[in-house]
Amino acid sequence: MNVTEPVQTSAAGTFPPYPWVWLTVTALVVALDWYSKQWVSTALELYRPQEVFSWLNITLAHNYGAAFSFLSSAGGWQRWFFSVLAMVVTVVLVVWLRQLDRANRWTAISLSLIIGGAVGNLIDRLLFGHVIDFIDLYYGQWHWPAFNVADSAITVGVVLMLLDVFRGQKTEDSN
Quick one: which of 107, 105, 109, 111 has its CA closest to 12?
Answer: 105
**Annotation marks residue 136 as catalytic:** no
Question: Do the Cβ atoms of 116 and 123 come closer than 8 Å?
Answer: no
**Annotation marks residue 101 as catalytic:** no
Q: Name the catalytic one among 33, 124, 133, 136.
A: 133
Lowest mean pLDDT among 6-15, 75-84, 127-136: 6-15
Lowest mean pLDDT among 97-101, 139-143, 148-152: 97-101
Q: What is the rounded average pLDDT for all residues in the chain?
A: 84
Question: Do the Cβ atoms of 113 and 153 come closer than 8 Å?
Answer: yes
Lowest mean pLDDT among 18-22, 88-92, 171-175: 171-175
Q: How far apart are CA 80 and CA 75, in angstroms?
A: 11
Q: Name the catalytic one among 33, 151, 164, 173.
A: 151
Kindly report the pTM of this predicted structure: 0.82
Give me the mean pLDDT over the 146-175 stretch: 84
The pLDDT value recorded for residue 7 is 41
The pLDDT value recorded for residue 101 is 82
